[in-house]
A and B are shown apart, each in its own frame.
Chain A
């Protein structure tokens, strides 16, 4: 029986901008198991990004708590959160966020230099199929390639969890599939717990579980009896 990596209890998040209060999360309960591939689906403003930001140690909750393997993440200080991101979390962003002045290999090295037990940057890039493009700058790579560099950068430190916020949002279908393939491969090879946020319902088919968000709450959770291979889906 897999151990849960995250236990989320009654998580609430309220943003205040001026006089307006926005309830981004209204009491979310959720468990995420080790090695699980999770897809979070839902319309804009449904709260999925807010949850991911709190799980990723980027934001603080207003109420409720999050346990990360026995540690109470919601009680972490700013410094502890930085350390948590550094040691345990990998991020993949919609717009890749690579450092333009560093090559693919160097972008990965950026993270391996500060990690405790990283893989070699070359190995990380080979895992996402970019073994031949090590010394290219981001400006010399296509969008899909850049996103795979971002995945390599995220997994190079052997994180416990990998968070991807709309990783295919800026890519066409064909390129997006290659990125998803890379994510699935990492999940299977390394056993990294992976959570992917998307608007794209089709992507739900490659997950172990799909969590549907609506109005700051978990509307329902669906388990896929069989996971589709990424190559089989399109949009």
Chain B
């Protein structure tokens, strides 16, 4: 080993705490990069593999009642590889030991042979016997939630008749990786099930002999999805087709997409922040090291070492830090990434996980990390290369300060405060970058914790301001309005409001969307419609009220005229004014006055659902009664949804807060500790002199730590600002037709982020203070810098 390399190792050891602090910042960058890319690829690959092996369809459509022979016509559409028709209906379940009703989505299994598309991955048992009407395969999550095994039974109200179903198997399906019940914001496996039943049984139960209500289509490679969708729509139009859609609008797929987008965003946003901070830390540390070793550099040059060899020596120092960072970060990122992928694997229901941790991820990590480190060290190394030996052997020129803060306008300031002020202004770039580093630490926290404020806001909006009903009953088919009286007479019902949902196509110019328009009474009290200012909207007698997201897609404002085409019943095309824009965070919604909607449909007053308020004390009576109501297809319990949502959120909160706190602490600690150590190295003599002059330890510490305290406190609002900005970008990135993320950052989030940053800064300051306390007073009398 050469003498220079030995020096390198000793330098690394001597500066180990600083080296480690910088390496940890780099490690955090590498870890987030490896974790996010690794988990993204693994999930994406897992999903793709799952879709391919179990033949997840590309296009989906629903109809009221389409004849079986239509399947052959759909198969004829150019670009279609395979077609499978099914009967899909919702039903209420009565599960023993659970008073509240649950909802099942019942899906038919083919009468002959195996499933062509959306195949089941059997976990336990077998598929239902095509001839048996009482056999069912349920999704594994539901079975697990209730401890069901094959052979167990539960009841379902299928088209008005209560039937006992025997579980013959449990399964997973690529169609229900993420299975959300009606009105739920999070999957609740206790109250929502998917049940696969023999086609024959479904046909007779729902009176759909020789007909289907759902069709899935697999496309040939290169086929045009849009063209196929258009043809299917035309074919299904006469049979109550509600508009075909591709994977991106399929709930399970879309939620996974949103999750993958978040991982991709994490890979884009976090690593650059860490690498930027690390580069800055390397820059200040190496600059200081070079300044301290000025004479040694001159000596080596005088001895005949080439400038390039000495430059390379310092670059090796930088590279060594980067390598430590890559190793720690690579291991941590891989470990966390596997953990995260497994976590996803459990949350989303995958039958297997494909881990994709290619060598290229690590290669990318090494290249960007070493690259960032080299960039950070470049200026200092260049100064080494350029330094002529004769100059290097002399002490550096004294630092010139500017006479800011002199007397007068800040006359009351003590000399120690003046020292702090002048030092900051003497090194404004360093002070600025220190501030920016601390601010970024706070920004990471604000930009991650704000998610909870937004979710809190959305739940408050949804459950307490807009949809204030306790429960929503949805009927299997549209019912005459008089059913409302029947519902009002149910035990425990305090009030009930009707609603009617109709599938429509809405157009504005060349833009169009298929949505369900919901008709509500004029001044609803339970399920209210609020405009973008959160003011309840009284539906005018005519007119159309799209949600903000839908209005944006169509490019309409209040007063514009849209064309509405009904997709159910008799086809009608009507021009309507947009009378209000509605606030909504979930899905694409549109509202009308229920009477106007009935007139539009040209039939007697009908309802498809009822929102109701109930007496909590009689809830079980009501549940029992609802379970016996033939027309009810599903029951949504808003409070149960909210509870489940908050429960899931609380679990995630703990994990997320600790991960992001860890990341932020790494930055805050790294920045403050290194800044303090470098200052101590530069000003140790000055501070020790003051101790000799009779300054106490606390007074002397204040000069150094006061400066950092000032920079940290100034950095806090900057962190809020940067955090808000990053949060804004994140919220924009998460906008989809599925949901909108309102940018809400509470004061508590700002306060929490600041407290965490301050905590990290204080701990690093205390570590440095111990060194200040141990300054050698006698040394300063004898030595010069």
Contacts and interface: CB of A to CB of B under 8 A. Distances in A.
B398 A106 contact: no
Contacts of A126: none
A32 to B, nearest CB: 19
A83 B694 contact: yes
Contact of B782 (A91, A94, A101, A111): A94
B152 interface: no
Contacts of B353: none
B780 interface: yes
Given A86-B694, A99-B686, A101-B422, A93 B781 contact: yes
Contact of A113 (B403, B415, B697): B415
B694 A101 contact: no
Nearest to A86: B694
Contacts of B693: 85-86, 91, 110-111, 153
Interface stretch (A4-12, A133-141, A180-188): A133-141
Give the dominant DSSP class at A's interface: mixed
Interface residues of B, number: 33
Interface in A30-62: 49, 53, 56, 58-59
A97 B785 CA distance: 10
A103 interface: yes
A101 B400 CA distance: 8
A173 interface: no
B84 to A, nearest CB: 79
B488 interface: no
A95 to B, nearest CB: 4
A58 B699 CA distance: 17
Contacts of B695: 82, 86, 114
B710 interface: no
Most buried by A among B399, B400, B415, B686: B415
A120 to B, nearest CB: 14
Contacts of B416: 110
B426 interface: yes
Interface string A81-107: 011111101010111010111110011
Contacts of B689: 93, 97, 99
Given A113-B414, A114-B699, A91 B686 contact: no
Interface in B392-439: 398-401, 403, 406, 414-416, 418-419, 422-423, 426
A74 interface: no
Interface string B692-715: 111111010000000000000000
A181 B406 CA distance: 31
Contacts of B686: 97, 99-100
A193 interface: no
B747 interface: no
Interface string B422-460: 110010000000000000000000000000000000000
A49 B416 CA distance: 29
Contact of B399 (A87, A97, A100): A100
A165 interface: yes
A138 B527 CA distance: 76
B401 A101 contact: yes
A85 B694 contact: yes
A82 B398 contact: no
A212 to B, nearest CB: 21
B781 A165 contact: yes
B574 interface: no
Contacts of A83: 694
Contacts of A103: 403, 406
A23 to B, nearest CB: 17
B398 A138 contact: yes
A28 to B, nearest CB: 17
B399 A106 contact: no
A109 interface: yes
Nearest to A92: B781
A106 B418 contact: yes
26 contacts: A49-B781, A49-B782, A58-B692, A59-B778, A82-B694, A82-B696, A82-B697, A85-B694, A86-B696, A91-B692, A93-B692, A97-B686, A100-B686, A101-B399, A101-B418, A102-B401, A102-B418, A103-B403, A107-B415, A110-B416, A110-B693, A111-B694, A113-B414, A135-B403, A135-B406, A165-B781
Interface of A: 49, 53, 56, 58-59, 79, 82-87, 89, 91, 93-95, 97, 99-103, 106-107, 109-111, 113-114, 135, 137-139, 153, 165, 170
Given A84-B694, A91-B781, A137-B401, 7 more contacts: A85-B692, A85-B694, A91-B692, A95-B784, A97-B780, A97-B781, A110-B415
* 6 pairs of A and B residues whose beta carbons are closest in the complex: A86-B694, A97-B689, A85-B694, A139-B398, A101-B422, A110-B415
